[in-house]
Amino acid sequence: MGKIHGGCLCGAVRYTAGVSPMVTRACWCNLCQSLASGNATINMAFPVEEVVVDGQLKDYQSTADDGNKMHRRFCPECGVHLFSEAEERPGIIVIRAGTLDDAEQVVVDGIIWTAEAPSWAYLDPGLPHFEGQPPAPR
Ligand SMILES: [Zn+2]
Ligand SMILES: [Zn+2]
């Protein structure tokens, strides 16, 4: 995979990642279903030092269902969520895959928080499933 470029809907926030993601997961937790209009979010984890962000973000802080303190950052102009970080996993930044310029760069490795998915959710049987939050990538 080459460099990853992306940004929000209005263009006020742009970012670049210089490496491939450590892991990419679909998340069906209840909060992600809100963010993704009733679907899973697709989340790519990167070492924080590999992601360069240009633009102002707003930070929505909340506690995840496993107790992690989450910071979910979004563009205050257009409202698109771009990043999330957990205080318990310093050094890792998650990019919301829907903000990539090229969605073909996304390869999903697994599905998490399946316990919170609705009965009609499609969970690819070819991917690993996790009922909750799996261990952080190394
Ligand atoms: Zn924006
Ligand atoms: Zn989630």
Where do the domains of the chain lie?
Answer: 4-116
Report CA(98)–ligand 1 centroid distance (Å). 13
Q: Which ligand is nearest to the CA of 81?
A: 1
Strand order in the sheet with 4-7: 4-7, 14-17, 51-54
Strand-strand pairing, 41-47 and 23-27: antiparallel
For 72-106, write each residue's pLDDT tens digit: 999 999 999 999 999 999 999 999 999 999 999 99
What is the model's pLDDT at position 2?
73
Q: Which ligand is nearest to the CA of 32?
A: 2
Q: Which ligand is nearest to the CA of 14?
A: 1
For 6-19, write each residue's pLDDT tens digit: 999 999 999 999 99
This prediction has a pTM of: 0.92
For 30-48, write each residue's pLDDT tens digit: 999 999 999 999 999 999 9
Report the top-level CATH class of 4-116: mainly beta
pLDDT band at 50 (very low <50, low <70, confident <90, very high): very high
Report CA(104)–ligand 1 centroid distance (Å). 22
Q: Which ligand is nearest to the CA of 58?
A: 1
Report CA(67)–ligand 2 centroid distance (Å). 13
List beta partners, residue 17: 4, 51
Alpha carbon distance 37, 89 (integer Å): 26
What is the model's pLDDT at position 1?
61
Strands (DSSP E) along 4-137, which ranges? Answer: 4-7, 14-17, 23-27, 41-47, 51-54, 58-63, 69-74, 81-86, 92-96, 110-112
